[in-house]
Structures are given as structure tokens and as C-alpha cells.
Amino acid sequence: MSIGPLGQFIELAKYFLGAPMIIIGIFFLAQGGRFPTISFLLFTTLAVGNFLLFGTYIYLLPSSYLPMWSVYIFAPVCFAMGGGLGYGAAKWPKIGITVISFTIGSIFGYMIKSAVGP
């Protein structure tokens, strides 16, 4: 498995991608419980957008045939779809709780699988 052009893009823009993530993490830490609708919107948008973007580049698109500029097309599309679900999560909290539960459950399941063996 390879993320090809997405990996190149992340390597080039690591500080421009990392700084907003740190700011969003500080928001979640400081104010996330006070503003659940904003938290559901941000978390769901980022979780679904990243899942779609990485899933697209890992499983669907052959990395040897795509140039790096393809990330500039696929990333806004994936995060727009994530934003649509994020809007739904902000409007209906059950969707937000479901996405957060799925994300955290997937992370814990992967950690247990990695700890137990191949």
C-alpha cells in the first residue's frame, strides 16, 4: 500500500496542515464540551474527510499514475463531503455521536489488533 501523491503533498505542506490541527485540538481541549455543535461539525468533517481522502489514495487510485496536483482536486471534494456530514452531525447530534464512536472504536480496535499480533 502506498499513498503516492498524497504522501508527497503531506510532506511538502506538513506545517500548513499541522498548525490548523493543533489549533483545532486546543479548541477541543479548552472549549469542546461547551460548544458541542461546533465540536460535532469539526470532528465529523475532519474524520470523514480524512477517511475518504486516505481511503481514495490507498485503495482506489493507482499511485504510479497520478501527479501530485491531483490532491488539490480530491482533497476539497472529500472534505466537502465530510462537511456535509459534519453539518448533519451539528444539526442532529446522534450522527455526531455515531461518527465519534465509530472513529474511537476503530482506533481502539486497531491498537488491540496491533498489540495482539499480525
Tell me, what's the pLDDT at 1? 55
The backbone torsions φ and ψ at residue 9, rounded to the nearest 5 degrees and listed phi first, read: -65, -45
pLDDT value, residue 60: 82
Q: What angle do CA 53, 44, 67 make, to 5 degrees?
A: 15
**Host domain of residue 89:** 4-116
pLDDT value at position 2?
Answer: 65
pLDDT attached to residue 72: 92
* pLDDT score for 111: 93
- Counting the structural domains of the chain, the total is 1
Let me know: does 5 contact 71? Beta carbons within 8 Å: yes
Instruction: Classify burial at 48, counting beta carbons within 10 Å of its beta carbon; exposed 0-12, middle 13-18, buried 19 or more.
Output: buried
User: How far is Cα of residue 13 from the mean position of the Cα atoms in its chain?
Assistant: 16
**What does each of the 118 residues of the chain score in pLDDT, given as a tens digit?**
567 888 889 999 999 999 999 999 999 999 988 999 999 999 999 999 999 998 888 888 766 677 888 899 999 999 999 999 999 999 999 999 999 999 999 999 999 999 997 7
Torsions phi, psi of 61, nearest 5?
Answer: -100, 130
Supply the pLDDT for residue 105: 94
pTM: 0.84
CA angle (71, 76, 77) in 5-degree steps: 100
